[in-house]
Structure formats: C-alpha cells, structure tokens
Amino acid sequence: MKPSTAIAPFWEISRAMSYGLVPTVLYIIGHPFILLHPVSLSQIFFAYVWVLFGPGSDEGGYDTKTKLLTPHASGIVVDLGAGYGVTVFYLQRDRVTKYVAVEPNKRMHSEIRRNAAQAGYAEEKGELIILSCGAQDFETINGVLGGPNNVDTIISVLTFCSVPSPRKTISNLMTDTLKPGGQLLYYEHVQSPRADVSVWQSFWTPIWSLFFDGCCLNRPTHLWIEALEWDWQASDMWGKEGEPEENIWWHRAGRYTKPSNLREILQAKDSELQKKIIKAENGLYDLEREKIELATSLKDAKASIQPLQAKVAQVESQLTASDAKLRETETRLESAESSRLALEKELQDLRQQVQDTEHQLKLEQAKASALTNQIKDGDQHSAGLVERLVALETEKVGLQSAIEAVKAEIMKKSSNAEGLETTVKSLQTQLADSTSERARLSTELESLRMRQAEQDKTLGEAEAKAKLLATQTEELQNSVKSLKAHLTESEEEKARLTTKVEALTSSLAERDRSLEESKTEAAASDSEKADALAEASSKFNALQAGNTSLTQKLEQSEASAATLAQEISEKQAQITTLEAAREALDQTIKDVEANMSKANKNIESLESEKRKLEAQLKAAEDGYNVPPVVLNEVNEGSIYPTRAGTAPTVVDEGQKPVTPPASPQLHPRSKPSSEASQRSHRGSLRFPSFTKGGSNKKVAESAGVHSFEVVNRGVMPHEQDAELGHKTGSFRRRISAVFHTDRPKERGNHPRRASEVGSLQKPVGATMPTETSSPSKSVTQRFHQAQPSL
C-alpha cells in the first residue's frame, strides 16, 4: 500500500481543522457551557466542516447516486442523515409523494428547507418533514408516518458509518419501517477487502470519528445488509466507477427490495433449501468418490508400502479434521448446557416471583379481612346512629306533647306572664338542645362519610392491587411461554446437532470399515473415535434428561400460575363482597340522612311553634302593661254592663243568671244630646273586677270567664262598636275575655284554681274562642258570645 494513501486521512483532518476550528472556538467563547455537551460540540464543528466537504463529496459521487436514486426512489422517501438535503435534487418530483429528512444536527435544518423548497417540496402541505432524531430512533419515524411499515424507500448516503449500533439499526429499519416491497438504497464507504487497507482503516477510525461526528472508516455495512435474516426479493450491489481498491474510503452502492409477501419469502426459502439439498447431494457424491478413491488407494497400498503410508497420512489428516469437528460439536453441547442452566435460573426466579405474589396475596387477604371488620364496625355505628335518631324522634314526640301541655298551661295561666315566659325559655332550651343534638348527629354523619371515603379508597387500592396481580400473572404466563419457546429451540438445536453427529458417525464408520483392512493403527484410532462418539452420545443423553427435567419444571410453573389465577379469582370475589357491603353501608347512610331531614323538619316546626308562643307572650305582656280600666261601682252579684242611671241586673249566689232586658242597649244610630250624656255614653259600659272574691266571681267562672285580657289598641277609625252605636269613636282600651271551655279535667287539676272551680263543666251552648281567635273583635261581640251560657 502506498504511503500517500495510508496517510491520506491526516491531510483531510488538517483541512477540517483549518476550516472549522476557528468558528467552533468562537462559538465556545460565546457559549462556554457547550463544553459540558460533547455530542452537541461535535455537531457544531461538523456543521462548519461540512460546508467545505459537502459539495466535494456530492460531486465525487454524483454518477453513482444518480444511477442509484433517480430511477428507483418513489412514494414516501426517508433520507437518513440528510445533511444539507442535497439528496432531494436526485429525486423525481412526480414519483416522490413525501420527503422525510432525518437529521439530528439542527444547525443543518434551515439548509434542508431551502433545498427542499427549491426542489418543489412544501413543508406546510406535508410534502416535507424534518426530524431531529437519529436513524436509530425508528419508533419516532414510524410515529410521524402513522405507524410501522409505511415507508416506500429508505435512502442512506454516507450515514450508516456514523450510526450507533448499526446492525441493530439496519435490522429495525428493514423490519419495522420499510413496507413489504419497499426498497433500501444505500451509498456508503465500507471496510476494504484488502487486508492492508483494512488495517489502516482501523488505525485511523478512532481519530477520524472525533472530527467527523462519529464516522467510522472500517464498517462492513454492505455485508451486514446482505446478511439479514430474510432473503431479499431483489438485490444488487456495485462499486464506485473508477475507484481503486487501494483506497481508505472504499465505496459500495446497493439496491435491495424487501419481499412483498409471504409466498415469495417461502418460495425464496424453498429455492435456498433446494440449493442446500443439491449441495448436500454433491457432498455425498464427493464422499462416494472419495470412498472409491480410498478403495483404489488401498488396492494400490497392497502392492506398495510407501503409497500406503502416504494414504495413511492423508487419512490421519482427515481424522484430525474430524476431531476438530467433534470438538466443535462438544463446544456447541457446552453452550446448550449453559443455556439449560440459564433456563433453570430463570425458572428459579419465576418460582421466587410466584412466592412473592403469594405473599402479596396473603397481605391483601389480611387487608380485606381488616376492611371487612371496618365495614362491620361501620354497620354497628350506623345502627347506633339509627337508634339515636329513633330516640330523637321519640324525644321530638315527647317535646310536642310537652308543647301541647304548655299550650294548655298557657291557656290556663294567661294572667301569669312570668310562668308563660319561663315555659318559653324552657322550650328555647329544649330547642337549643335539639339543635345541638342535630349538629352532633351531623358531625357523626360527616365522620361516617369520611370513613366511607376511606373504605372506598381502600377498596380502590385493593382493586388496583388485584389488577396488578393479574398483570403479573399474565407476565408469568408469557414468561412460561417464552421458556417453552426456548425449550423448543433447544430441542431443535439438539436434533440438528444429533443429525450432524449421526451423519458424521456414519461417514466415519464407512471410513473406518475401509481402513480396518489396511492397518492395525488405523483400527486403534477408529476405536478412539468411537469412544469420542460414545462420550458425545452420553452428553446428548444427559442434555435430553436435563430437557425432560426442565419440561417438568415448566409444568410445575404452569400449575403454580393456575393456582395463582384461582387465588386471584377468589380475591376478586372477596372484593365483590366488600363492594356489596359498601353499597349496604351507602343505603344505611341514605336512610340516616332521610331521618336527619325529617328531624330537621320537625325542629323547624318546633321553631315555628316557639315563634307563635313568643308572639302570644308578647301580646300578653303588652296587655299587662296598660293602665287599669276604671270600672263603675256595680251591685254585688252583677256581671252585666250598665248605663248611667240604670239598675244593674242582680244575680244572687246559686241563682241562674237572667238575660238582661234589651232596653239598656243603645241603638247604633242613637246619639247623646249633651256633653254629659256623651260622657255618660262613653263610660256606660262597665265590668266588675274579678280580682275580688264573692259571688260575682263564681258566677263569672260558671259562665266560663276566667280572666280578662286588656289590650291597648288606641283609637281605630274602623273599629266602631255596632252594638252601642258609637259612630265616630271607639274605646281606647278594649277588654277581651279569654274563654277556656275545653280540657275541664286539666283545669280542675290546676293547683291554684282546683279549690275554686271544683267539678265545673263546659256550659251548654257556649261558643268559646280558640287560641288563634283575633283579638280585634269588639268587646260586645265577645260578651254576647258568652251570653247564652248565662
């Protein structure tokens, strides 16, 4: 190899340094933190360098890229490592629907947009897509294009040399990104087939990659592409025209078409299998020919010892080759044994996972039982709350009875305002107690709701853990399936090795039979080979026994997985039971809330009754605060009002009251003729005072009149006494009798009036006002309502 060729990378690195070093240093001065990101710094340096190297590289490969790209690229085109996007000028615009530029160096994106727009690709119409990821990010490329296997053409121009994990990247792109029938078009500098050039490529690669963004000079990319797992539907590879082999940058271009359907793949595989069968038949023919040649040689060996010795030496060399093959077989057996040990370790890990899962299930069962106990405690608390509500309802009924009793007491003791006020305060106290009880019940209900929320949260966690356990079970099942697949592959490998050993054994046996007649030493070597074969067979038997035990372990793992699935189903049934208990608890809480609502309504009704009682109390207090009524002197025993100058009706004690004559009553139209008569007219209505003892008091009580309520109403224009004929005036003070004719037994039990009332009954025909009677009735109307009983 010429020295000038060997040191050619040095001059290129010098050119790159002279052109890109100064702007890179200036950029570092402006952005010193870029030193913490060496990958970004390398991209910045390469962006400056490629301004110098890019046009020359494009011009040097123009003919090759035109032959490769222009007639073949079509549909959705993905350009890996687009650089400045010059590949777009090699594409036919009418055949390419979308150009996807994959370039991780963002400093080159503006130039890609400019070149693509110049070639007629509009980014706003979706004809141009620029991705800042690398070629290894095939999932990002698939996501942008709507899923896997949607790309018609993948182009790689001097890109695979700098991609990390190139073999994996190429395999992923061909498998998951390129659609069936799609094309891979590449133009790369690769490892040279010459050993001396390859050595220098390996020498310069570590230095070269530092200055050219990870570019490697010694990658056999063309061989990696050709050695993919499937057979290409069409493949073609060529070199750069006029390029010598003695070149550090040795180029290869290729066009590979992915199989379009399974039929073609099977046909290709069948064709390859036929080739292998023909090759095997040719090998058998060669073996037969060698056998004939050996027989001929043996015949010749009988005639001459020297030719026989030469033949023996040849046979020994063949036996040495056979021994090498046996050693290779033993190596494969050892690798199979290591695979078996790895599978056993994975099985142990699976058993440990199953034990951990069982432990988690036990913990979840313990939590579920604790949650069940909490729900039972909540049910007991709800039952206690219901009992408290029933007690509150009973207390409310008692309170209503007490209110009724207080009403009756107020009707009896209308003259005693202090007793009525005390009763109202007692009612207020009871109402406050009821309100506090309601607040306490509300607090307990809120606590119960919080506890229910915690139980819901615990149930949710239990459900999540059950789902997690189900997921783990599914993963264990998948692991078991993968272990089965590995076991199947191991069995297939074992069968293949067994077939090879049998073929080798048969071949050796034939050769041994032919050599038995030649010499005793050959027979001894044959016995050694037989021992080696017996040892290999014993190893195969041991491997088969290990596979059998592995199968049993897999069956045990499946049984454990089934047990785990059953336990998970039981856990789900327990969760269903807990949900039912929670629903019952929700219903109990709803019932409690309904009872609380009823209690609130009852308390509101009690408050309304309290307001009514307070209004009556206020009215009674207003009546007791007015000045006393000036009453005329009347004869003892008279309860009827008299006019001035008229004799009152006398009612003796024990005598039935006599209805007064109609003559003392004034006609509504009558009018006093003088001021004196007007004064007499205004003061003509008189009532005796019932605060004194005597027959008048007894007669009044016999009529049902127990007390008088004095109301200071003032002069109301519309309140004219129709009975007395006052047309323009009204009484400043009105006296209304409050009649208590109901509950005679309760009145008889009153401690203050029991001695006075005795066994009085309700007068026949008397019409008594109720507690809701309006105090605005005239005195005469109320008086005449009580007159029939007199």
**Predicted pLDDT at 714:** 45
What does the pLDDT look like over 254-285, one tens digit per residue? 999 888 764 566 566 677 777 878 877 787 77
What does the pLDDT look like over 566-575, one tens digit per residue? 777 777 777 7
Over residues 523-544, mean pLDDT: 62
Residues 163 and 225 in one domain: yes
Residues 122 and 42 in one domain: yes
Long-range contacts of 33-42 (CB under 8 A, 24+ apart): 42/210, 42/213, 42/214
CB atoms closer than 10 angstroms to residue 329: 20
In a domain, 323, yes or no: no
Query: Is 90 exceeded by the pLDDT of residue 77?
Result: yes
Q: What percent of the chain has pLDDT over 70?
A: 56
With tokens 């009085």, the residue in question is 760
Q: Please give the DSSP secondary-structure letter assigned to residue 666.
A: P
**Predicted pLDDT at 387:** 76
CB atoms closer than 10 angstroms to residue 306: 8
Partners of 128 in the beta sheet?
99
Provide the pLDDT confidence category of residue 773 given band limits of 50, 70 and 90. very low
Lowest mean pLDDT, pick from 136-140, 300-304, 359-363, 625-629: 625-629
**Predicted pLDDT at 344:** 76
Residues 644 and 670 in one domain: yes
Residues 701 and 775 in one domain: yes
Over residues 749-761, mean pLDDT: 42
Residues 618 and 630 in one domain: no
Provide the pLDDT confidence category of residue 678 given band limits of 50, 70 and 90. very low
For strands 733-739 and 705-712, give the pairing: antiparallel
Distance CA(411)–CA(263), nearest Å, equals 108
Lowest mean pLDDT, pick from 469-478, 594-603, 619-628, 700-709: 700-709
Partners of 78 in the beta sheet?
100, 154
Distance CA(147)–CA(177), nearest Å, equals 8
- Domain tally for the chain? 3
Over residues 457-476, mean pLDDT: 69
In a domain, 294, yes or no: no
Residues 714 and 743 in one domain: yes
With tokens 């336990």, the residue in question is 567
Contacts of 160 (CB under 8 A, 6+ apart): 80, 135, 166, 169, 170, 186, 188, 219, 221
Residues 661 and 554 in one domain: no
Residues 134 and 216 in one domain: yes
What does the pLDDT look like over 192-218, one tens digit per residue? 999 999 999 999 999 998 888 889 999
DSSP string covering 300-343, please? HHHH-HHHHHHHHHHHHHHHHHHHHHHHHHHHHHHHHHHHHHHH
Q: What letter represents residue 269's amino acid?
A: K
Residues 604 and 668 in one domain: no
In a domain, 473, yes or no: yes
Query: Is 80 exceeded by the pLDDT of residue 560?
Result: no
Please say which residue of 228, 259, 290 terminates a domain. Answer: 259
Q: Can you read off the two tokens belonging to residue 404?
A: 């009724």
Residues 609 and 633 in one domain: no
Please say which residue of 242, 259, 276 terminates a domain. Answer: 259
Angle at 240 (CA atoms; ends 238, 246), nearest 5 degrees: 110
Distance CA(538)–CA(532), nearest Å, equals 10
Query: Is 60 exceeded by the pLDDT of residue 788?
Result: no
In a domain, 283, yes or no: no
What does the pLDDT look like over 403-420, one tens digit per residue? 777 666 666 655 555 555
Q: Can you read off the two tokens belonging to residue 542?
A: 């041991």
Residues 555 and 615 in one domain: yes
Partners of 736 in the beta sheet?
709
Distance CA(165)–CA(168), nearest Å, equals 6
100 touches 153 (CB < 8 A): no
DSSP string covering 592-660, please? HHHHHHHHHHHHHHHHHHHHHHHHHHHHHHHHHTSPPP------TT--S---TT-PPPP--TTSPP-PP
Contacts of 21 (CB under 8 A, 6+ apart): 45
In a domain, 53, yes or no: yes
Q: Give the range of the structural domain holding residue 483, as residue numbers without chain letter.
A: 334-514+534-622
Over residues 577-606, mean pLDDT: 77
Please say which residue of 584, 602, 622 terminates a domain. Answer: 622
Strands of 529-645 (E only): list them.
Answer: none
Query: Is 60 exceeded by the pLDDT of residue 371?
Result: yes
**Predicted pLDDT at 27:** 86
What does the pLDDT look like over 618-670, one tens digit per residue? 776 665 444 444 333 334 444 444 444 444 444 444 444 444 444 444 344 44
In a domain, 519, yes or no: no
Number of H helices, E strands in the chain: 18, 9
Domain at 142, CATH number: 3.40.50.150
How long a stretch of residues is the chain? Answer: 790
The residue that leads in pLDDT, 241 or 342, is 241
**Predicted pLDDT at 275:** 82
Query: Is 80 exceeded by the pLDDT of residue 152?
Result: yes
**Predicted pLDDT at 695:** 43
In a domain, 739, yes or no: yes
**Predicted pLDDT at 16:** 84
CB atoms closer than 10 angstroms to residue 471: 10
The residue that leads in pLDDT, 507 or 704, is 507
The residue that leads in pLDDT, 712 or 59, is 59
Quick check: pTM over 0.75?
no
Residues 79 and 175 in one domain: yes
In a domain, 295, yes or no: no
For the chain, what is the radius of gyration of the CA atoms?
A: 59
